[in-house]
A and B are shown apart, each in its own frame.
Chain A
Amino acid sequence: MQFFRDVANIAIKYYPDLLRGVGFTLLISLISTVIGLIIGLLAGIIRTAPESKNRFIKTLQRIINIIIAAYVEIFRGTPMMVQAMVIYWGYAFATDGVTLPLVPAGIFIVSINTGAYMAEIVRGGIISIDKGQFEGAAAIGMTHWQTMFHVVIPQVLRNILPSVSNEFVINIKDTSVLNVIGVTELYYFAGIIKRQNFQTFQTYFVVCILYFIMTYTITRLLRLFEKKLAGKDTYVIFGSQTAPEAEIHIDKGGAVPND
């Protein structure tokens, strides 16, 4: 079995490069997913804010909403590989040849791309929250920002977690397009290795397995996290006959500031 021997040889000979590639791929996709989520949350909160009565703020709100809508449409409507080229070389063009540092550039590109998708995911998440949650908060005098921060967003995050996990997995795979600007992620190293050993199939087979291990592990981990967040359906009464000692717990919970 020459094939398996080749694969093993690649793994043994090039493992430092492959691991570096895996590292950068994970780093870029993780940071970009988090930044993308933050962009999405901000965009979602701004877009669902009620219109101000102040005419100046109202106009400002409308302009910002148009900008966000344009941002979402443009970044969802063009390939990330092309965006990478346009942003990287656009910057070089504008600065007369100064190029961006590669990894930050990669993070920037994947982040704003993810942000465009997250904006829609978050908007959907906010819309799906029961109107009663907003009214309950309004009725005790909470502002839009307080309502969002303390009541709505925590529920939205829980609801959109599967979609966010999905974006993370997509990012792990899609960072491969960053090789067009020379970011040293996994796919980039595959190209280097292939040019040294001329074993194109064997090399990309190894890379394929590495991508799958990454996505599969991440998916499982996030699934576990989702389950943990879901919590229990039932509640054990404190001070009930089955748990009499729990009565003490109430007094503690009531008097001690535990946060």
Chain B
Amino acid sequence: MTERNNSHSGPVIELRNLRKRFGDHEVLLDINLSVNRGEVVTIIGSSGSGKSTMLRCINLLETPTSGEILYNGKNIQTEIDSLYRYRARVGMVFQQFNLFNNMTALENCVIGQVKVLKRSRDEARAIAMEYLDKVGMKQFINAKPAQLSGGQKQRVAIARSLSMSPEVMLFDEPTSALDPEMVGEVLSVMKSLAQSGLTMLVVTHEMSFARDVSDRVVFMDKGVIEEDNTPEVIFNHPEKERTREFLARVLGK
């Protein structure tokens, strides 16, 4: 977070009329969303509502069918110099961790810094160590992913993203593939990141995280944003019937 671009005062990420179609299947229908610097936005909704696809469009792992994605006011498909540089500024944490299996935890956090950001190996190592320590994985720097538990892998994956000094972090169901007893360790890391002022977009089924940690909660259903409000409003007196139904189902009320 050292190279932050402060020249732009508007939203960091803005989605305008975003649509995504897979063949005949409309996954996203006209999404409009803006995320301000330092905001923690949680995206909730049932499976197939388009949450993950929306997140994956933001760093162009999926190419939008139409619409615009703005990063600091610039269209990421037409107005930025390098897609690779942009992706380095927008970190992503995946449900399945996606750590590089041929590398140790430390190497996982170093490779991108050296190859993409062109940092020196020493500097990259120092930064990687700092974040691995921050996520409580300092003791495992020389472990290969196959030797780690799910929760440990996810913490390394978070450290890998942080090592790139991102301006925004995208979390795509980061705890959904974890055993229940490991969810807590990952959530507490995310919580401390949220408190540090990092801009975060989090797709999750962890309602407690949405309610307690985020500044805003976005409820998606069938490819549209049904409701976008503070956690207070969403969880206590949602405006839409669909939101109420969804929350009743997941919270078992």
Q: Which residues of A contact B (CB under 8 A)?
A: 130, 132-133, 135-143, 146, 150-151, 154-155, 158, 231-235, 237-240, 250, 253-255, 257, 259
Given that A154-B102, A233-B147, A235-B147 are contacting pairs, would A140 and B161 also be in contact in the complex, using a CB cutoff of 8 Å?
A: yes
Give Cα A232 to B146, complex, Å.
9
Residues of B within 8 Å of A240, CB to CB, are: 139
| Contacting residue for A136 out of B85, B98, B117, CB 8 A | B98
Q: Which residues of B contact A (CB under 8 A)?
A: 59, 61, 83-88, 91-92, 94, 96-103, 106, 111-112, 115-117, 121-122, 125-126, 129, 138-144, 146-148, 157, 160-161, 164
Taking a contact as CB atoms under 8 Å apart, the answer to whether A257 and B111 are in contact is no
Give Cα A151 to B103, complex, Å.
8
Q: Which residue of A lies closest to B121 (CB)?
A: A257
Taking a contact as CB atoms under 8 Å apart, the answer to whether B98 and A141 are in contact is no
Known: A237-B140, A239-B139. 17 other contacts (CB 8 A): A132-B97, A133-B98, A133-B100, A135-B98, A136-B100, A140-B88, A140-B160, A141-B88, A141-B116, A146-B115, A146-B116, A150-B111, A151-B103, A231-B144, A238-B142, A250-B139, A253-B141
Given that A139-B87, A140-B112, A142-B115 are contacting pairs, would A151 and B139 also be in contact in the complex, using a CB cutoff of 8 Å?
A: no
Given that A135-B98, A257-B125 are contacting pairs, would A141 and B92 also be in contact in the complex, using a CB cutoff of 8 Å?
A: no
Q: Which residue of A lies closest to B133 (CB)?
A: A254
Taking a contact as CB atoms under 8 Å apart, the answer to whether A138 and B87 are in contact is yes
Residues of A within 8 Å of B97, CB to CB, are: 132, 136
Q: Which residue of B lies closest to A153 (CB)?
A: B102
Can you list 14 contacts pairing A with B, beta carbon distance less than 8 Å? A135-B94, A138-B59, A139-B94, A141-B83, A141-B85, A141-B116, A142-B111, A142-B112, A233-B147, A250-B139, A250-B141, A254-B126, A254-B129, A257-B121
Give Cα A232 to B102, complex, Å.
13
Taking a contact as CB atoms under 8 Å apart, the answer to whether A257 and B138 are in contact is no
Give Cα A15 to B162, complex, Å.
65
Give Cα A174 to B143, complex, Å.
42
Closest Cβ–Cβ distance, residue A247 to chain B (whole Å)? 9
Given that A141-B85, A257-B125 are contacting pairs, would A136 and B94 also be in contact in the complex, using a CB cutoff of 8 Å?
A: yes
Closest Cβ–Cβ distance, residue B123 to chain A (whole Å)? 10
| Contacting residue for A151 out of B88, B100, B164, CB 8 A | B100
Give Cα A213 to B204, complex, Å.
60
| Contacting residue for B142 out of A253, A255, A257, CB 8 A | A253
Residues of B within 8 Å of A140, CB to CB, are: 87-88, 91, 111-112, 116, 160-161, 164
Closest Cβ–Cβ distance, residue A249 to chain B (whole Å)? 8
Given that A139-B59, A140-B87, A141-B112 are contacting pairs, would A237 and B94 also be in contact in the complex, using a CB cutoff of 8 Å?
A: no
Closest Cβ–Cβ distance, residue B153 to chain A (whole Å)? 11
Taking a contact as CB atoms under 8 Å apart, the answer to whether B125 and A232 are in contact is no
Taking a contact as CB atoms under 8 Å apart, the answer to whether A151 and B102 are in contact is yes
Closest Cβ–Cβ distance, residue B24 to chain A (whole Å)? 22
Q: Residue among A136, A240, A254 with the most chain B CB within 10 A?
A: A136
Give Cα A44 to B101, complex, Å.
20
| Contacting residue for A155 out of B94, B101, B141, B143, CB 8 A | B101
Taking a contact as CB atoms under 8 Å apart, the answer to whether A158 and B102 are in contact is yes
Given that A133-B101, A140-B91 are contacting pairs, would A233 and B146 also be in contact in the complex, using a CB cutoff of 8 Å?
A: yes
Q: Which residue of A lies closest to B152 (CB)?
A: A235
| Contacting residue for B139 out of A138, A231, A237, CB 8 A | A237
Closest 4 CB pairs of A and B: A136-B98, A141-B88, A140-B112, A235-B147
Give Cα A92 to B126, complex, Å.
61
Q: Residue among B87, B98, B144, B160 with the most chain A CB within 10 A?
A: B98
Taking a contact as CB atoms under 8 Å apart, the answer to whether A132 and B115 are in contact is no
Closest Cβ–Cβ distance, residue B135 to chain A (whole Å)? 15
Taking a contact as CB atoms under 8 Å apart, the answer to whether B141 and A235 are in contact is no
Give Cα A71 to B140, complex, Å.
46
| Contacting residue for A138 out of B61, B99, B141, CB 8 A | B61
Residues of A within 8 Å of B139, CB to CB, are: 237-240, 250
Give Cα A239 to B142, complex, Å.
12
Residues of A within 8 Å of B86, CB to CB, are: 141
Closest Cβ–Cβ distance, residue B108 to chain A (whole Å)? 9
Closest Cβ–Cβ distance, residue A23 to chain B (whole Å)? 35
Closest Cβ–Cβ distance, residue B122 to chain A (whole Å)? 5
Residues of A within 8 Å of B101, CB to CB, are: 133, 155
Give Cα A136 to B115, complex, Å.
14
